């Protein structure tokens, strides 16, 4: 997506001013600054215990011994419109969401570069292990993007270049799975291409599907935490 996508999302958020719960477990300057910045786009409720030394100013707060359960409970009861885990344990929050709503949690991460933004999946280390799971990420991710007025292009990654077939069994397996995944996604109406390991050729596409959750998590951490995407 181009930079206009993020602009549209920001305008939509400001126009709605939804009530959003953000999980907090111990205070940190970065998270408080982030919450204060988010207050421009939504009505923010801190859920958890930031600690006695944390100055939260006028921010609304709900103290909780089990903030993950409280956060998801507020969402279930409709007392908030959306939930952000903040610095709570991803494992605990995702598990609580799965049990409460009886769903298989699948996540997309939005990464914004100066002239281009894209969604990445899978990003949880225990996600995307099967072709079926990655197919659902590709198809449902594309459907979500269409709901945001984006005609999505989807890149499917694997463990080697197409000409690397035969170098080792592991690479061969990822190449075969990615070829099948791209074909199944196209059969489902998604504009999908297998890019091999050449992630640099994905520039301009809207959703990148990694070979598994571990590699997706590494891509996310490299771009987000090392490069500041």
Residue 184: inside a domain: yes
Mark whether 119 and 81 lie in a shared domain: no
State the pLDDT confidence band at 120, using cuts at 50, 70 and 90.
very high
pLDDT of residue 51: 75
Range of the domain at 86: 13-101
Q: How many Å from the N-terminal Cα to the C-terminal Cα in the chain?
A: 14
Is the domain of 72 the same as that of 115? no
pLDDT tens across 8-21, in order? Answer: 888 988 888 899 99
119 and 67 within one domain: no
Judgement on whether residues 18 and 44 belong to the same structural domain of the protein: yes
> Do both 217 and 120 map to the same domain?
yes
Q: pLDDT (tens digit, 9 = 90+) per residue, 153-207?
A: 999 999 999 999 999 999 999 999 999 999 999 999 999 999 999 999 999 999 9
CATH number assigned to the domain comprising residue 22:
3.40.50
pLDDT of residue 172: 96
- For residue 1, being part of any structural domain is answered with no
Residues 73 and 129 in one domain: no
Kindly state the helix (H) or strand (E) to which residue 4 belongs, with its residue range.
helix 3-16
- pLDDT mean over 140-164: 95
pLDDT at 3: 76
The number of domains in the chain is 2
Are residues 115 and 157 located together in one domain of the fold?
A: yes
Instruction: Pick 98 or 105 by higher pLDDT.
Output: 98
Domain shared by 151 and 92, yes or no? no
Q: Express as a percent the part of the chain with pLDDT over 90.
A: 67
If asked whether residues 220 and 193 sit together in one domain, one would say yes
Q: Does one domain contain both 152 and 66?
A: no
Q: Specify whether 97 is located in the same domain as 114.
A: no
Task: Please tell me the pTM assigned to this model.
Answer: 0.87
* Domain final residue, candidates 36, 66, 101: 101
**Tell me, what CATH number does 168's domain have?**
3.40.50.10750
What is the DSSP code string of 89-150? -HHHHHHHHHHHHT------EEEEETTEEEEEE--STTS--SHHHHHHHHHHHHHHHHHTT-
Task: Convert the pLDDT of each residue in 24-64 to its tens digit.
Answer: 987 766 777 888 888 999 999 999 987 777 777 778 889 99
């Amino acid at each position: 997506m181009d930079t206009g996508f993020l602009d549209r999302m920001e305008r939509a958020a400001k126009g709605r001013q939804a009530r959003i719960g953000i999980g907090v477990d111990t205070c940190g300057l970065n998270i408080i600054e982030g919450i204060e910045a988010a207050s421009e786009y939504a009505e923010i409720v801190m859920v958890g215990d930031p600690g006695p030394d944390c100055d939260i100013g006028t921010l609304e707060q709900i103290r909780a011994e089990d903030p993950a359960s409280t956060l998801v409970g507020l969402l279930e009861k409709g007392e908030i419109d959306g939930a952000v885990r903040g610095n709570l344990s991803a494992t605990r929050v995702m598990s609580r969401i799965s049990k409460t709503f009886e769903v298989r949690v699948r996540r997309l991460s939005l990464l914004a570069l100066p002239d281009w933004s894209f969604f990445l999946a899978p990003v949880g280390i225990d996600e995307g292990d099967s072709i079926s799971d990655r197919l659902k990420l590709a198809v449902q991710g594309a459907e979500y993007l269409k709901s945001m007025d984006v005609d999505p292009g989807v890149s499917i990654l694997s463990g080697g270049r197409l000409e690397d077939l035969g170098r080792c069994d592991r690479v061969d397996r990822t190449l075969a799975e990615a070829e099948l995944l791209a074909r199944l996604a196209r059969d489902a109406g998604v504009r999908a291409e297998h890019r091999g390991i050449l992630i640099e050729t994905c520039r301009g596409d809207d959703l990148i599907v990694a070979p598994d959750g571990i590699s997706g998590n590494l891509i996310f951490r490299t771009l987000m935490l090392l490069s500041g995407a």
